[in-house]
Amino acid sequence: MADRQEAFLTLEGGSFMPLPALKGTLASYIHALPAAVNHVFMRPYLTEAKSPLLIFAALETLLVIIAVGCLLLYLKKIKTITNHPLLMLLLSLSIINYLIIGYTVPFAGAIVRYRVFFEVILLIPILIMCDNKNHLEKWLNKYLRLY
């Protein structure tokens, strides 16, 4: 992963965000974790979006943050996720790939492009957990038979 980050750092772009260099040690990954989480989960900020595409990306990020806030309101339904291995897979797959993107990519435009697929995968378990009428959970139990 450090090699991939180094390859990205040699590129130039208009939306560069500084990122601590990875050295292949656990300490360097721990040191870079806050910046990686910030880059992939929080950015681009609405205040730093200069192009129309980055404005839409910032709004998309804001909507995901609101969805996570909804998740925290309905945290008591965590059993919904832990009882369904498919949902646990989707959640862990998206978070792991988000972190890989955050560690390696220092450009806001590229981060937005790379995280789109995993954002959809992340929103599926979040929406199921925020479903207080259990429509989605009933649909999962009926059609996927995950027991």
What is the pTM (predicted TM-score) of this model? Answer: 0.77
Residues whose CB is less than 8 angstroms from the CB of residue 42 and which lie 6 or more positions away in sequence, other chains included: 61, 65
Q: What is the pLDDT, as a whole number, of residue 81?
A: 67
The rounded average pLDDT for each run of 10 residues, N- to C-terminus, in the chain (147 residues) is 69 76 86 91 85 87 85 66 80 92 87 89 80 67 66
- The domain locations on the chain are 2-143
- Rounded Cα gap, residues 47 and 112, in angstroms: 16
Q: What is the pLDDT, as a whole number, of residue 131?
A: 64
Reduced to 3 states (helix: H, G, I; strand: E, B; else coil), residue 131 is coil
Q: What is the pLDDT, as a whole number, of residue 142?
A: 74
